[in-house]
A and B are shown apart, each in its own frame.
Chain A
Amino acid sequence: MSRVRITLSINGESHELEIEPHWTLLHVLRDEIGLMGSKENCLEAECGVCTVLLDGKAVNSCILLAALCPGREIVTIEGFGNPEHLHPLQHAFVAHGAVQCGYCIPGMILTAQSFLDEIGDRRPSREEIREAISGTLCRCTGYQKIVDAIAAHAAGRGGKRAQAHVC
């Protein structure tokens, strides 16, 4: 099948690309653009290490066709913070020792950010945070500290008291 030309907006920059129609966004990010922060693992939306923000919402880039993404705003971990200017949520992860091997952390951070944006300035319960990151697997099993970090960051945003919204 012949390649098609598309333009993707990634981390605020416009990228002109020639892609195969079956390429996923994850493939394009890693192998065409060289952004290696989004990880490749299960390739069936089970593990969450490929998570990116699509128009501000966390999605699995491993099952998202790049051909469907023109006109959407894509943010990867590289556009979220960098070693010189960590995002406050990344600071919270470092401060709580939530980063072990690091493989899941880009997905964890972006999933958490999407969740916190979704609930507004309300302070989430730990149960809600655990549910929010249930599609993002950490094989170091460092969940406790990850939840601590997200909870602390959420509290630091001046969040209101927790109102349970658990199904």
Chain B
Amino acid sequence: MAFAVHHPGSVADAVALASRLGDSARFIAGGTDLVVQINHKRCAPHHLIDITRLGELAGIEETQCGVRIGALTTHKEIERHPSFQGALRGLVEAACVVGGHQVRNLGTIGGNIANASPAADVVVALLALGAEVSLVGSSGTRVMKLGELLIGPGRTARRNDELLTSVQIPKLSPMAASAFVKAGRRKAMEISVVCVGACLVVDASGRCTDARIALGAVGPTVLRARGAEDALRGQRADRSAFKQAGQTAAAHCDPIGDVRASEQYRRLLVEALVPRALARSLSRIMEAKS
């Protein structure tokens, strides 16, 4: 365990450093995943690039197109921010079940995404919200859909010299809302056995015009339940449609059995939690309307 810590003064300097140092370097912010991985010898970087002082990466901003969340935003900041208390509340529901109070004060949204855990609660909520990420590298900036960034357990399409700088959540229509539900073996301090994020859009007659459903811990990455989403579109948004969506999602996901749960149990959880997340989204839409 021997590494040097570098403290660049800007995103441009951080990216230039990463480009020069190559695969032996890692960016570090909260370090809640990375330091544990280093201590357990699951990775051994020679250089850590400290991005915690880069003001460019901080802050939550409402724009004309939606909400832009700086990569250094902590889980706790998401939990408490007024922008997420309405239709985007699914994101708060995910952020507030990550680790304990202390980890949520350290861990950042950028790090959580880059760590690419298939069970990452906040990533599930973001995927359901149709989030995009911005990456700045030595060859320029690119914006990609979150789902395209995630390619395997612990693996993303981010190049080593690219820094994830922000996450953008597109503006929801007035008749849309999100929710997040999680099953773990206990209420707090627990990796999800299964978690589900949903974002539902309905029209004035109560018909589902669009839906996004994201699943955690049932595949090699956080993933969308596209079959269930397609089946929901055009249907009346009610209990029976939500139940059907749960069954479709359960049939099409790809869980493994491990120390936390069997494959079969994970499918049962998907079947139960998808309708719950959709129903909560719907009631959130109705609350906002009334």
B205 within 8 A of A: no
Q: Which of B79-113 contact A (CB under 8 A)?
A: 79-80, 92-93, 96-97, 99-103, 105-106
Which of the residues B28, B48, B76, B100 comes within 8 Å of A57, measured between beta carbons?
B76
Scoring B residues 2 to 33 as 1 if CB is less than 8 Å from chain A, else 0, what string do you get?
11110000000000000000000000100110
CB contacts (< 8 Å) of B36 on chain A: these are 44-45, 63
Chain A residues near B79 (CB, 8 Å)? 167
Q: Is A133 an interface residue (CB 8 A)?
A: yes
CB of B68, distance to nearest CB on chain A (Å) = 23
Q: B35 interface residue, CB < 8 Å from A?
A: yes
Residue of B nearest to A45 (CB): B103
Question: Are A43 and B101 in contact, with the CB atoms below 8 A?
Answer: no
> What B residues does A118 contact at CB under 8 A?
76, 80
B32 contacts across to A, CB distance below 8 A: 45, 60, 63
Whether A134 lies near B92 (C-beta < 8 A) is no
Is the C-beta of A138 less than 8 angstroms from some C-beta in chain B? no
State the CA gap A167–B182 with chains docked (Å): 11
Complex alpha-carbon distance, A36 and B80, angstroms:
33
A45 to chain B, nearest CB (A): 5
**Which single residue of chain B is at the shortest CB-CB distance from A119?**
B80
State the interface size on chain A (CB cutoff 8 A).
33
Count chain A CB atoms within 10 A of each CB in B28, B31, B76 and give the residue with the most: B31
Q: A135-B99, A135-B188 are in contact. Are A54 and B105 (CB under 8 A)?
A: yes
Interface centre among B80, B96, B101 (most CB of A within 10 A): B101
Q: Which residues on the B side are within 8 Å of A114 (C-beta)?
A: 101-102, 105
CA of A25 to CA of B269 in the docked complex: distance in angstroms?
A: 40
Q: Are A43 and B39 touching (Cβ within 8 A)?
A: yes
Bound Cα distance A111, B4 (Å): 31
Give the interface size class of chain B: 20 to 34
Q: Decide yes or no whether A131 CB sits under 8 A from chain B.
A: yes
Check B38 against A22 for contact (C-beta < 8 Å). Answer: yes
CA–CA, A114 and B28, complex, Å: 24
**Contact between chains at A4 and B105 (CB < 8 Å):** no
- A45-83 CB contacts (< 8 Å) to partner B: 45-46, 48, 51, 54, 57-60, 63-65, 67-68, 71
**Given B5, B101, B103, which contacts A133 in the complex, CB threshold below 8 Å?**
B101
CB neighbours (8 Å) of B31 from chain A are 63-65, 68
Q: Within 8 Å of chain B (Cβ to Cβ): is A94?
A: no
Question: Are B28 and A68 in touch, CB under 8 angstroms?
Answer: yes
A64 cross-chain contacts in B, Cβ below 8 A:
31, 35, 106
Given contacts A44-B36, A64-B35, A134-B189, contact A59 B102 (CB under 8 A): yes
With both chains docked as a complex, state the minimum distance between the C-beta of A68 and any C-beta of chain B, in angstroms: 6
Chain A residue contacts of B28, Cβ below 8 A = 65, 68
Asked whether A67 and B102 contact (CB < 8 A) given A24-B35, A57-B76, A118-B76, the answer is: no
CB of A10 within 8 Å of the partner chain:
no
| In the assembled complex, A136 has its CB within 8 A of some CB on chain B | yes
27 intermolecular pairs with C-beta atoms under 8 Å apart: A1-B2, A1-B3, A21-B3, A21-B5, A22-B1, A22-B2, A44-B40, A45-B32, A45-B36, A46-B189, A48-B102, A54-B106, A59-B102, A60-B32, A63-B35, A63-B36, A65-B31, A67-B50, A68-B31, A68-B50, A111-B102, A118-B80, A131-B188, A133-B101, A134-B101, A135-B103, A136-B101
Which residues of B does A touch, CB under 8 Å? 1-5, 28, 31-32, 35-36, 38-40, 48, 50, 52-53, 76, 79-80, 92-93, 96-97, 99-103, 105-106, 187-189
Which 10 A-B residue pairings sit nearest by Cβ, starting from the closest? A135-B100, A134-B188, A1-B2, A167-B96, A67-B5, A57-B105, A63-B35, A60-B102, A21-B5, A58-B102
Residues on A lying within 8 angstroms of B by beta carbon are: 1, 4, 21-22, 24, 43-46, 48, 51, 54, 57-60, 63-65, 67-68, 71, 111, 114-115, 118, 131-136, 167
Q: A58-B101, A71-B53, A134-B101 are in contact. List 17 more A-B contacts (CB 8 A).
A: A21-B5, A44-B36, A44-B40, A45-B36, A45-B103, A57-B76, A59-B102, A60-B32, A63-B39, A63-B106, A65-B31, A65-B35, A68-B31, A133-B101, A134-B187, A135-B99, A167-B92
